[in-house]
Structure 1
Amino acid sequence: MNLKKLREGVLVFMAHKMGLPYFRLIRKKPSFPYTKEQLAAMPEGSVGKTMYVFFQKNNLDLLPYYEKHDIKHVVLGYEADEEGEVCLQCFMLANGRMTIPVWIAVGYGVVTMPEYWAAFYKAWIRGRRNKSLQQTDWFALIPQPLYEVQHALLRVS
């Protein structure tokens, strides 16, 4: 097994075997109001349709407790690979998201993925400079045009 596959496996393990139990313990189950089929039927260019395309491209399904995470991938533009996962968490940490899973993912990435340090730093700076996303109603973004959402949310504070 190559190093990249091993690290991706560790990230999946951390998300599903550590993160999911953590979320179940501290969060009430989110009521995501859409099915994958409803996302597929949304207008081209909407956050929902783009999320559906993201799922198809990466062979993913909707997972309870991870819907907001997947919306963030779409809105922030980070891929669902090891680099993109850690970049997303670097952005969110720098933007004020101080949770145990975020700290673990960032720490893991920094320690084990030196080839992505420049990308992690860029994501960190981007998150630090961006206005706070802490009060964002991520589910409400689904029917909206992605371009408008990005224009509204991804601005320097």
Structure 2
Amino acid sequence: MKKLLSLATAALFLVGCEQAFTLEGEDANVQEVTEKAPSELVVGVSISTLNNPFFVSLEEGINNLAEENGTKIKSLDAQNDTAKQTNDVDDLIQQGVDILLINPVDSSAITPAVESANAKGIPVITIDRSSESGKILALVASDNVEGGEIAAEY
């Protein structure tokens, strides 16, 4: 589990920080890219709940890697509340984060927030669950079928 967590965290930052960018323009087909160094980034993180040890470890991994790279993190706990998460993500958008890492409470309920980020040209990476709509740069998730097979074999 720790190996998967480390891999997921590294993937988030490889995609999100080392090649970070913002999309400019209203049209989703316009993709002017502005590159930023990890130390110039502000990453917004919305975790579904910090009552789950897995997500606590995920947040710690994100914060540790951000600290190593000099990246600023704004992390919020949605407390398993879809309305709170939508408001939290909207707040992060208004604060002008460069990229969003979202672990949605609900794939459907997060859609308006993802679409708002898309409209502002903020890339979105989802963790563990995706969004039913909106443009997602990447989804970082475990393969639960494979995990079940491994558990059954064990």
The TM tier, using the shorter chain, reads under 0.3
User: What TM-score do you get using the length of structure 2 for normalisation?
Assistant: 0.27
Higher RCO (C-alpha under 8 Å, 6+ residues apart): 1
The structure that is strand-richer by fraction is: 2
The structure that is helix-richer by fraction is: 1
User: What TM-score do you get using the length of structure 1 for normalisation?
Assistant: 0.27
